[in-house]
Amino acid sequence: MFEKNILVTGGAGFIGSHVVRLFANKYQNYRIINFDKLTYAGNLENLKDVDTKENYVFFKGDICNREDIIAVFEKYQVSDIIHLAAESHVDRSISGPMEFVLTNVVGTVNLLQVAKEKWDKESNHVFHHVSTDEVYGSLGNEGLFEETTAYDPRSPYSASKASSDHFVNAYYHTYGLPVKMSNCSNNYGSHHFPEKLIPLMINNIVNKKPLPVYGKGLNVRDWLWVVDHARAIDTIFHQGKIGESYNVGGLNEWTNIELVKYLCRLMDSKLNRSEGESEKLIQYVTDRAGHDMRYAIDASKIEKELNWTPSVTFEEGLNATVDWYLENQEWMNAVTSGDYSKYYEKMYQS
């Protein structure tokens, strides 16, 4: 008998796998149910270190399919949800927005609706929706995103996440669903699909391939180690107030070009290459359409109210991250070639 049966959607993805790992290792009294469709971005190899644990189970399902959600609720008496399943890459949302509407908006509403139907109001349930700072839009040189900043999404990805956030709030205000929300800045760390800036650059540096920097490389992102994001989700899930949202970030702003150059220097020294070798791979390419200029988070609410702060500096986190990719090149080759996807497709057909 478990004290809680927590459904983690998107648990096979980048951040989700870190959340599942943290919860499965820390809370033996909770059953962690990883609910994932296993798209190109998710694979169970990300969780091979926890998959034999008694308090962990995997359920292959699609949040766009109501029957899948009902089935997992009935099989495991889901008591709480940490919702991470999403289409997450801005460039893909520009070339194909509809998948983002379906997964991020319709899928989220499906999940909210089943939770509303299955949970009685007297019990203590939590629906923790994991969102992004990109819903706030784009900053100029000054200022930080606060929880009260007006929503101003500008990419199809951020528009779909903003819409899902609005539905989460609507279910709280209209039906009293016990929701909590977090909006986090850009994450980096292990098990990150190499289409996003940091793992893509690491992979290309290893393979001496061009490093595509969009525009002039002057856009700014605020980077947070994924393990610290998982710790923040743990903190908010347990101590956050129902109906509230929390911004999560590391006060760690970098222009893309400075970050890519830093990675080049770090990796030249780790790969015993001559100084400046990898920087020669940098290529300035056509800018992303509607490219948000700057994201930066004011995390003082979660720091003051819930006593959360990042546990590592960016230099420490990035060093550990690069080491992980260098030690796990098989993982990198399998995700970039689609080998894991083909394997799981076959496994779940039979």
Residues making contact with ligand NAD (CB under 6 A): 9-10, 12-16, 36-39, 41-42, 62-64, 84-86, 88, 103, 107, 130-132, 161, 184, 186-187, 193
Residue 186 interacting with ligand TYD (CB under 6 A): yes
Q: What's phi and psi for 174, nearest 5 deg?
A: -80, -45
222 binds, among ligand NAD, ligand TYD, none (CB under 5 to 8 A by kind): none
For tokens 């980048």, name the residue. Answer: 14
Q: Which residues pair with residue 184 across a beta bridge?
A: 132, 248
CA angle (95, 98, 99) in 5-degree steps: 90
**Catalytic-residue membership of 262:** no
CA distance 234 to 230: 6
As measured in angstroms, the least distance from the Cβ of 182 to ligand NAD is 8
Query: Which CB sits closer to ligand NAD, 39 or 204?
Result: 39
Site stretch for ligand TYD (CB under 6 A), options 70-78, 138-146, 214-222, 318-326: 214-222
Residue 254 interacting with ligand TYD (CB under 6 A): no
Residue 268, CA distances (Å) to 190, 202, 206, 273, 281 in order: 19, 11, 9, 5, 12
As measured in angstroms, the least distance from the Cβ of 274 to ligand NAD is 32
CA distance 274 to 270: 10
**Catalytic-residue membership of 133:** yes
Burial of 15 (0-12, 13-18, 19+ CB in 10 A): buried
**Catalytic-residue membership of 134:** yes
CA distance 179 to 204: 40
Catalytic residue among 45, 68, 80, 133: 133
Query: Which CB sits closer to ligand TYD, 5 or 160?
Result: 160
CA distance 117 to 264: 52
13 binds, among ligand NAD, ligand TYD, none (CB under 5 to 8 A by kind): ligand NAD
90 binds, among ligand TYD, ligand NAD, none (CB under 5 to 8 A by kind): ligand TYD
CA distance 27 to 197: 33
149 binds, among ligand TYD, ligand NAD, none (CB under 5 to 8 A by kind): none
| Residue positions annotated with a catalytic role | 133-134, 157
Chain residues in the site for ligand TYD (CB under 6 A): 90, 186, 196-197, 200, 212-214, 219, 221, 256, 288
